[in-house]
Amino acid sequence: MELSLRAIAYGFAATLVIGLLSGFTVPFTSFTLPTIGYILTGIIGGFVAGYMVTTGTTDGAINGLVATTVGAIFVAIGLVLFNILFTGVFFGLTTFAAAIVIIAIAGIPGALGGAVGSMMHDRSAERAGRPAA
């Protein structure tokens, strides 16, 4: 088992960007960005982390799990703070309780995405190594 900080950083960044931008409403308009669920966000973040790993599918899954879990923690902190600021303490704490469950569940799609990303990286490296006929 090898943790790649570079892969975790890329997966974390992907999870953070997608998680924070998903479902935002532009103030004073009726425009809302498309909502991407936590499962798809975890799969994408895990895929990015897994694709960066070159040591195997298991390491891709572990790096994807770590990246999406850390990303989900930061997204949850941001959402809880926004809810406390704009809706009050009660709804902010309710969001915090829901966020703990989401963080616990976020690692599963991240690990799946990391394993798939690592497999895709291995396949693309295989094709690149073949000589042209």
**Domain ranges within the chain, ordered by starting residue:** 5-123
DSSP for 62-118 reads HHHHHHHHHHHHHHHHHHHHHHHHHH-HHHHHHHHHHHHHHHHHHHHHHHHHHHHHH
How large is the average pLDDT for residues 89-97?
83
Rounded to whole angstroms, the Cα distance separating 43 from 25 reads 23
Q: Does 22 score more than 80 pLDDT?
A: no
Q: Which of 5-14, 21-30, 81-90 has the lowest mean pLDDT?
A: 21-30
pTM over 0.85: no
Q: What percent of the chain has pLDDT over 90?
A: 19
